[in-house]
Structure 1
């Protein structure tokens, strides 16, 4: 069944991917109406999250953020499909970078990197970063249930010398890379909620205490990798810009969770500046009523 689904769906995805951007976004506008107004995909979750972290905002303000969020979400879906055939030249034009000297200086120092980011604005085209540095790139991801589509996503990322690895493969893969003397740069989206039985640290996020992922920091310390935050801004429809900020050059100089806490503060700033570009469909604050006594 997996192969059949792939054979039936792949041609449609490819046809969408070769559309010019003007037509691509016309389709996105149409899908937005279906997702937002008809199926109302996770709309209850989105509004619950927004009311929770923005109790001061009016009903109309929450509705406006919700509408803008779904519009952007649909754009991202179509942009991810566009990744199948978009040219390097086009992607370089649409996904640009500032502060590249930060990464390049670490490269000169022979330092491998952990890049931490949030599910904010766009992360689909970040892999073009590999064209600006000489690092071997790894992206930590959740494997797709359909092995054929999973292989497709991996092939797309590999176009730019980036490789997807699962959470379980991360330590062994990065350790092997280090043993071979490679310089690696690994991307972690660390803002979502971990399983509560695996939570080692709780912290305020948007004013609410929640469990937080600490894997990126722990791996950085274990393998002595510098830690850099990358934040993406949406300049206009289909155009993004990413900047970098050093979180820790020598991570073992920091107490446990200091790096993670600093990361969360920057993510909060992103959200407050333009909340419509954050991924509100996830139940990020679902464990807020289960805070252990030692973290109260």
Structure 2
């Protein structure tokens, strides 16, 4: 695979300027912690950190609570609060999962993976078919991306470089472990190009990206949810397979990698609205495998069909 889709940031002495010392110290400490502590301790530590969310991230907590009320209107207040509490614990664990993904050696990383069902991916790779892997913003997203590469299915991911050059230097290397590659998130031509070459492209169609290239279709209990049409654009122009997949952590603390169907044959890619609604059903199915591990802290329902109206969903 070509290494030049996103330029690998080079090291320079300017990265050692005192203004970047905080970044180096923070990531250095994280790398040390995840490499010297046993995994079961990291799991407890991460989830304990998440408990601080109610104290230091009250606004985000209220967003998560409101998202859940909108998505699952039949849940009681008690059920919602228990859901939010578990979601916060998993949010804290996401910090440890980032460190694990970026700094663990491959032999150790493999120990926490369960290849539960990826036969479809393996078959498509053997056929040199382009694969649009549609994942979700799970809190353990970093783990899932590297897991695919470790299991022999390295690919490309959409990427937004960090504005802090020291952070970017570390982040890039963390996200390109085991031969994964990166493409600027706005460069759809290169996304289509790698799919046509028979590569895997990791795509996330589950957030509210605003009105550009979006339609309003059902998502859980909200009938008009801003949903990207990027999936249908990529699928139609590349003629690739479309495989929804996930990598959620199970009750034993291991990450189950599932990508067990190619939905392309029945996917209405020529109809953007029908395609978005179709994909949302699969996104819901993925999230429901472990809903407490999804990014409910994001304002999933922030956009309305009429941009001139005030969104009362979060008032």
Query: Considering the TM-score relative to the shorter chain, is it more than 0.5?
Result: yes
- Segment of structure 1 superposing worse, 248-257 or 103-112: 248-257
Q: Equivalent residue of 2:132, what SS?
A: strand
Cα pair 1:224 1:252 within 8 Å, conserved: no
Tell me, yes or no, if structure 1 residue 163 matches structure 2 residue 181.
Answer: yes
Q: Counterparts of 1:71 and 1:253 in 2: how far apart (Å)?
A: 38
Q: Equivalent residue of 2:299, what SS?
A: coil
Q: 1:215 — aligned with what?
A: 230
Aligned residues: 287
Q: How does 1:12-51 map to 2 (within 5 A)?
A: 12-18=29-35, 19-40=37-58, 42-51=60-69
1:248 CA drift (Å): 0.4
Q: Counterparts of 2:301 and 2:131 in 1: how far apart (Å)?
A: 29
Q: TM-score, normalized by length of structure 2?
A: 0.81
1:129 to 124, 136, 148: 148
Q: Counterparts of 2:90 and 2:69 in 1: how far apart (Å)?
A: 19
Q: Equivalent residue of 2:243, what SS?
A: strand
Q: Equivalent residue of 1:202, what SS?
A: strand
Tell me, yes or no, if structure 1 residue 204 matches structure 2 residue 222.
Answer: no
Q: How does 1:241-280 map to 2 (within 5 A)?
A: 241-244=256-259, 245-249=261-265, 255-272=271-288, 274-280=290-296
Q: Equivalent residue of 1:211, what SS?
A: strand
Cα pair 2:161 2:168 within 8 Å, conserved: yes
Q: 1:59 — aligned with what?
A: 77
Cα pair 2:132 2:242 within 8 Å, conserved: yes
**Runs of 4 or more above 6 Å deviation:** 250-253
Q: TM-score, normalized by length of structure 1?
A: 0.85
Q: Equivalent residue of 2:147, what SS?
A: helix
- Segment of structure 1 superposing worse, 100-109 or 35-44: 35-44
Q: Measured at CA, do residues 254 and 109 of structure 1 come closer, stay the same or move farther in structure 2, by a change above 3 Å?
A: farther
Q: Counterparts of 2:98 and 2:207 in 1: how far apart (Å)?
A: 20
Tell me, yes or no, if structure 1 residue 11 matches structure 2 residue 7.
Answer: no
For structure 1, the residue ranges without an aligned partner over 5 or more in a row are none
1:273 CA drift (Å): 5.3
Q: 2:12 — aligned with what?
A: none
Q: Counterparts of 2:209 and 2:200 in 1: how far apart (Å)?
A: 23
Cα pair 2:158 2:185 within 8 Å, conserved: yes
Deviations 1:41-98 (CA, angstroms, capped at 9, x unpaired): 5111111111122222211111000001001111122111122322322322212223
Q: Counterparts of 2:162 and 2:46 in 1: how far apart (Å)?
A: 23
Q: Equivalent residue of 1:242, what SS?
A: strand
1:274 CA drift (Å): 4.2
Q: 1:95 — aligned with what?
A: 113
